[in-house]
Structure 1
């Protein structure tokens, strides 16, 4: 264990040479590269653990009043929290996690996120201004990180300078909104404008990101860690919901089914060739598919957290009239999660020539349709949880047995090996032709 890194997490990449990680020249062309690894640091793990609290606060907020207005507020706050995580993770994946700039900036962001988490559960009329102030500080820290990077040369400034301007403008909007009445339409409007600016900027300036493509091993690892945190929220909500009932066979069966659902969703997600879109971006020098991959995780993470609320509330309200509303929440969120998994798989498949032979993609879409059907059938809590577990386990087994799943994994490994050896393929299709069929 050295330099604050975990012993077990070891991710390797082809990336820019830098004699001193404290003074890394981010403007160097990524085509001139050496074999170098980038580990997930203890600081990054600490940063990600803040989101255990944030997701729990958001889940409890939605569980207390799952009406339409609360769901909209939940969605807005969730996007903001997710984007705070994405800003830190993509910066580390682009410019490294060992520089003094990143370490001090991340420590400052952890403090701001702690304050953000404190304000997530209360009514926006009471906490909206405090949330806006804390989030504005978080955006200002992120903008400062990109300002620092933009001074490393004209190539770095082309991307980092634009990101700094966007984040700085968004920070100003958040801080301005803190002066408005909490939860007012004007305040929420400024939040939406700031988030829209933040989220769309990387898309509009993607042609300037050739010198700032994310680490093709590091970013999938960080994204995977966040999904584990979200899936862990299912277990947290199940335990909380079970406290309202007796620990007998009637209540243990749906609790067990919900835990099995979490395990099946874990298998469905981690069976994907998760680094392939980033490898495609590096090989083809186009960031579009990488951004689609990253942004696709927002609805998946949101769906898993909402699913955790529905499963937990269903256990707590078993046998009451509220169970029907929880069933609708479970069906809708599971459908969104499965559709997102289908999108992520399609995003990987379109890099290859395997789209027409894949069986898992239509299976995931069919599974989403069946999940929507849960909204319209009348089941009790046990029936709902057993149906969800059966569906997710069936899909997990089907995807795991699909030869295309194994082929995508082999292709991902083959491209990584070629990059590690300094032999970059001209395209993903070329690597596909050289990779033996499964």
Structure 2
């Protein structure tokens, strides 16, 4: 790998076989997270699943960025990923214990994964030793915090988890932003200063990092996240497939719901890969591999739609069984709304008129409210209606994609609604 951000782009690094093997562990992990919401279809189950998913997500991010910046597919570097699969697999098996208040096993497994990262980052840092050391120290601190949390009763456990995840995300992706902050100028008013700082911060997103060791490879990062989204979309398909096996010979409404589940999965795939995937990579390339941009688009930006797919998978699973709970259709409709917002299908660019912005809010609200149809029709029929709605959304996204890309070529910051 070269020592410049441009070099990261020229190398066109691809996802390696060892990374695909590593992701196999998370196929099982995301299945366990979705199953938590199937077993406990209430707010407690959803919040528990979200908390576990956050911890697993940032664990996965740590290994993704490690290989993105420093991995060259050497034997010593492949070993770190292989060793990392062990605590990650253990963490996946401990997911259900969290619902019973037993967090210790999961916390220790997460600490073990971060201990691997604490050694891996400074060891493989190559041309960016400062970045490698800072990330390594951050993960060492996180490992200690997670280990301590295993022996502390809730809710303090979760407070420690939030601290650990926040500080490691900051060191990994946002250090350049912190280092680039400027003191406020005394000769300007506060409002002017705030506006100027905001413009500077957004402009900084399009500037390659000063330390080449912090730059990310856009091609590799985009491909890695795209593959992970395929894993999560596969969870929706698996939910439909398992239900189809259990419901062999079911009545017509359920059979229609099974078909609708597959249509919904296809529409979700289309919304992401026909628009968001290419747009995200284009903007990251335009930034020269800026890690803060990568955080906004991928590490943080993909979190809502990623979890939304698990909400949808759990909701479909519940909706197609006998006597489904009230939460079943809500999980599907809320999941779709979060997915549409998270993939920016309707939200790329600032709209000039208030009524167009209001229309966006109305569309998202209407998506959520589709769950209310369970008062009139059976949950499988509601899933069918939601699937049709998703197909219509996919059509809109397809029509808007070329327009959005044209605007982003003029100014990549339109992705975040900047005029």
Query: Would the TM-score normalized by the shorter structure come out above 0.5?
Result: yes
Matching residue of 1:8: none
C-alpha distance in 2, partners of 1:341/1:363? 17
Contact 2:347 2:360 in 1 (8 A): no
Equivalent position SS for 1:180: coil
Q: Is 2:320 the partner of 1:315? A: yes
Unmatched tracts of structure 2, length 5 or more: 180-208, 414-419
Equivalent position SS for 1:140: helix
Matching residue of 1:144: 119
1:397 to 395, 411, 414: 395
Q: 1:49 to 1:287 in 2, by over 3 A?
A: same
Q: 1:127 to 1:102 in 2, by over 3 A?
A: farther
Give 1:106-145 correspondences, 5 Å limit: 106-125=81-100, 127-145=102-120
C-alpha distance in 2, partners of 1:60/1:33? 39
Matching residue of 1:281: 287
Give 1:377-396 correspondences, 5 Å limit: 377=373, 378=375, 379-396=377-394
Give 1:36-55 correspondences, 5 Å limit: 36-55=11-30
Give 1:39-438 correspondences, 5 Å limit: 39-125=14-100, 127-150=102-125, 152=126, 156-180=128-152, 184-207=154-177, 209-210=209-210, 211=212, 212-245=214-247, 246-272=249-275, 273-282=279-288, 286-294=290-298, 295-317=300-322, 320=323, 322-342=324-344, 346=348, 349=349, 366-377=362-373, 378=375, 379-402=377-400, 405-406=401-402, 429=410
C-alpha distance in 2, partners of 1:58/1:338? 21
Q: 1:191 Cα shift?
A: 1.9
C-alpha distance in 1, partners of 2:339/2:244? 24
C-alpha distance in 2, partners of 1:199/1:58? 22
User: Higher helix fraction: Structure 1 or Structure 2?
Assistant: 2
Q: 1:89 Cα shift?
A: 1.2
Q: What CA deviation, in whole Å up to 9, does each residue of 1:195-232 have, x standing for no partner?
A: 22223334540246441221111111110111111111
C-alpha distance in 2, partners of 1:340/1:34? 26
Q: 1:162 Cα shift?
A: 2.0
C-alpha distance in 2, partners of 1:76/1:201? 21
- TM-score, length of structure 2 as denominator length: 0.80
Q: 1:334 Cα shift?
A: 1.3
Contact 1:367 1:395 in 2 (8 A): no
Contact 1:363 1:395 in 2 (8 A): no
Q: What CA deviation, in whole Å up to 9, does each residue of 1:412-432 have, x standing for no partner?
A: 9xxxxxxxxxxxxxxx64999
Contact 2:94 2:105 in 1 (8 A): yes
C-alpha distance in 1, partners of 2:386/2:159? 37
Equivalent position SS for 1:374: helix
Equivalent position SS for 1:179: coil
Q: 1:233 to 1:48 in 2, by over 3 A?
A: same
Runs of 4+ with >6 A deviation: 360-364
Q: How many residues align?
A: 372
Q: 1:308 to 1:253 in 2, by over 3 A?
A: same
Q: What CA deviation, in whole Å up to 9, does each residue of 1:118-156 have, x standing for no partner?
A: 111234557421111111010111121212245x46xx2
Alpha-carbon RMSD across the aligned residues, in angstroms, is 2.9
